C-alpha cells in the first residue's frame, strides 16, 4: 500500500483498515516510510483521531513489529506499571524494585523524555555504566536474578514505536489518545505481561490537563489492554505540582534512593508508590485486598528489601555495586546551585508544572531535538510542596545549573512558576480516581 494514500485517508477523516495500519507500521519499521510521512501520519491521527478498532490494530501492529517476550520459566507473576508522564515522576525507579521485593517479576520497558516530561531512561543513564539497552537474553537474566529490570526498547521490542515516539516528541503530536495508547501498550504487550497498572496523570503538568481528557485516555488504555488479554487497571493521579521534590535526571535518582531508604516517607511520591504497588499485587494475585497489599509493600520498603533489589538490578545492568551506599560518588553534581527565593510570605498555592518541566529542559536536562545530549546533573531540587508556608526570603527550591549565571537566570524562571496566597490552599490528593 502507498503510504501517502494511507495518510490522505486518515487526513480526510476516514477509518483505516487493520491491513492499512499494519502496512504503514511495517513500512515504518523497515524505514520505507520516511520521517516526514510518519510525522504527517501522526498529525493526521492527532486531528482526526482513531476508533477503538483502529487503535487496537495500531497497538498490535506496533507490538508485532519486533519480538514478543515469553516468561514461561520465571516462576512469578509478570507485571508492570506505566505512567503517562509528568514532572518529577521517578516512581518507576522505586516501584519496580518494590514490586519485585514483594514477589513479582517486573520487566519494565521505559522511554526517554517526551515534551516537557522527564524520561526514566534519561534518569537511569545518569548512573555510570547502567545499560539501558540490553539484549533480550540479558534482560531476561536480570529479571530472573533481581526480580526486575528497567530498560529501554531493545532493537527487537516494538521498534516501530521507538521510531514514531521520537518523531512525536518533536512534532507537537504527543497529546493524542490513540497514539499514546498504542505507544504505551505496544511496548508493554511486547514485554509479555500478565497484568498492568497505569498511572494516568491529570493537571497542568500532564499531557491530559482536564479530568475528562485523562479519563478518556485511561479508559482507552484499559479497554485496549484488556481486549488484548492483559489484565489492566488505571489510577488517575494529580500532576498539578511535581511529584517528587526534584526534577532532573541525577537529582531524581538521588530522590529515588532516598525514598527506597525510608527518608521520604509521608510524601506524595511515597503515597503514590504504595498505591500503585498495592494495585500490582492485588491484580497479580499475590494479595487479596488493597489494604493487605499496601501493608506488604510498606514492609518491603521499611525492611530494605526493595532497596536491595534496586542495588542488584543496577549492578547486573552494569552500574556500580555500591551506588545506594555512595550515590554522591557516582551521580554527577551541577557546577552551580542557586536558591529560588520567595519574594513574599504566605502559602504556596499553585505551580505552573509544565513550565517547571520546560525550565529543566532549558537548563539542559531534556531535549529540544532528538539528537540533543542531556546534562544529567542539572535540574531543580528541594522543591517545596503546595500548601507549604514560607516567609519572604525563604528558599522554595534550588536550581542546579551548569554555571552561576544560568542558575540565576533560571531561578527567576522557576520562581515565576509558583503562586502565593494569604491562606492555606486546598491541595488535591495524589490519587484521584481508579479506572477498571
One domain for residues 274 and 412: no
Q: Does pLDDT of 114 surpass 70?
A: no
One domain for residues 35 and 134: no
One domain for residues 358 and 232: no
One domain for residues 310 and 374: no
Give the pTM: 0.88
Q: Is residue 426 part of a domain?
A: no
Grid cell at residue 314? 543496577
One domain for residues 209 and 288: yes
One domain for residues 118 and 46: no
Mean pLDDT of 311-317: 98
Among the candidates 327, 351, 373, a domain finishes at: 327
One domain for residues 319 and 363: no
Q: Is residue 252 part of a domain?
A: yes
One domain for residues 196 and 316: yes
Active site residues: 80-83, 120, 168, 183, 187-188
One domain for residues 359 and 417: yes
Q: Is residue 318 part of a domain?
A: yes
Range of the domain at 214: 79-327
What proportion of the chain, given as a percentage, has pLDDT over 90? Answer: 82
What's 387's DSSP letter? Answer: T
Q: Domain of 47: which CATH number?
A: 1.20.970.10
The predicted-structure confidence for 18-48, as pLDDT tens digits, reads as follows: 999 999 999 999 999 999 999 999 999 999 9
| Distance of alpha carbon 302 from alpha carbon 210, whole angstroms | 36
One domain for residues 351 and 371: yes
Q: Is residue 126 part of a domain?
A: yes
One domain for residues 314 and 375: no
How buried is 47 (Cβ within 10 angstroms: 0-12 exposed, 13-18 middle, 19+ buried)? exposed
Q: Is residue 265 part of a domain?
A: yes
Name the residue among 25, 53, 47, 48 with its Cα closest to residue 165.
Answer: 25
Angle formed by the axes of helices 35-48 and 159-169, to 10°?
80
Count CB atoms within 10 A of the CB of residue 318. 14
One domain for residues 59 and 95: no
Number of domains in the chain: 3
Mean pLDDT of 206-222: 91
Q: Is residue 435 part of a domain?
A: no
Amino acid at each position: 500500500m502507498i503510504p501517502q494514500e494511507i495518510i490522505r485517508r486518515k487526513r480526510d477523516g476516514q477509518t483505516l483498515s487493520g491491513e492499512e495500519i499494519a502496512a504503514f507500521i511495517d513500512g515504518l519499521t523497515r524505514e520505507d516510510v520516511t520521517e516526514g510521512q510518519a510525522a504527517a501520519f501522526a498529525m493526521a491521527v492527532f486531528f482526526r483521531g482513531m476508533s477503538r478498532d483502529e487503535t487496537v490494530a495500531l497497538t498490535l501492529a506496533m507490538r508485532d513489529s519486533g519480538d514478543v517476550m515469553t516468561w514461561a520459566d520465571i516462576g512469578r507473576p509478570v507485571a508492570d506499571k506505566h505512567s503517562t508522564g509528568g514532572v518529577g515522576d521517578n516512581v518507576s525507579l522505586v516501584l519496580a524494585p518494590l514490586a519485585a521485593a514483594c514477589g513479582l517479576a517486573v520487566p519494565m520497558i521505559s522511554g526517554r523524555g517526551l515534551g516537557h516530561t522527564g524520561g526514566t531512561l534519561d534518569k537511569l543513564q545518569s548512573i555510570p555504566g547502567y545499560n539501558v539497552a540490553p539484549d533480550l537474553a540479558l534482560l531476561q537474566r536480570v529479571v530472573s536474578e533481581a526480580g526486575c529490570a528497567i530498560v529501554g526498547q531493545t532493537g527487537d521490542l516494538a521498534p516501530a514505536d521507538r521510531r514514531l515516539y521520537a518523531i512525536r516528541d518533536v512534532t507537537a503530536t504527543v497529546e493524542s489518545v490513540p497514539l499514546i495508547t498504542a505507544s504505551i501498550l505496544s511496548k508493554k504487550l511486547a514485554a509479555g505481561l500478565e497484568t498492568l497498572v497505569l498511572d494516568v496523570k491529570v493537571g497542568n503538568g500532564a499531557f491530559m490537563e482536564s479530568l475528562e481528557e485523562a479519563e478518556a485516555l485511561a479508559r482507552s488504555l484499559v479497554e485496549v489492554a484488556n481486549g488484548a488479554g492483559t489484565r489492566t487497571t488505571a489510577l488517575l493521579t494529580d500532576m498539578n505540582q511535581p511529584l517528587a521534590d526534584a526534577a532532573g535526571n541525577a537529582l531524581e535518582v538521588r530522590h529515588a534512593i532516598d525514598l527506597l531508604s525510608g527518608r521520604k516517607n509521608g510524601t506524595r511520591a511515597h503515597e503514590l508508590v504504595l498505591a500503585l504497588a498495592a494495585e500490582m499485587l492485588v491484580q497479580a494475585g499475590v494479595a487479596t485486598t488493597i489494604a493487605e497489599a499496601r501493608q506488604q509493600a510498606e514492609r518491603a520498603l521499611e525492611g530494605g528489601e526493595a532497596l536491595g533489589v534496586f542495588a542488584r538490578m543496577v549492578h547486573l545492568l552494569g552500574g556500580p555495586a555500591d551506588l545506594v551506599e555512595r550515590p554522591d560518588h557516582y551521580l554527577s553534581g551541577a557546577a552551580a546551585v542557586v536558591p529560588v527565593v520567595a519574594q513574599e510570605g504566605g502559602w504556596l498555592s499553585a505551580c505552573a508544572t509544565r513550565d517547571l518541566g520546560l525550565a529543566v529542559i532549558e537548563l539542559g536536562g531534556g531535549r529540544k531535538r532528538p539528537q540533543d545530549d542531556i546534562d544529567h546533573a542539572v535540574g531543580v531540587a528541594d522543591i517545596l510542596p503546595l500548601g507549604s508556608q514560607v516567609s519572604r526570603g525563604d528558599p522554595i527550591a534550588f536550581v542546579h545549573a551548569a554555571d552561576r549565571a544560568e542558575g540565576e537566570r533560571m531561578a527567576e524562571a522557576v520562581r515565576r512558576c509558583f503562586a502565593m496566597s494569604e491562606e492555606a490552599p486546598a491541595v488535591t490528593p495524589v490519587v484521584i480516581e481508579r479506572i477498571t
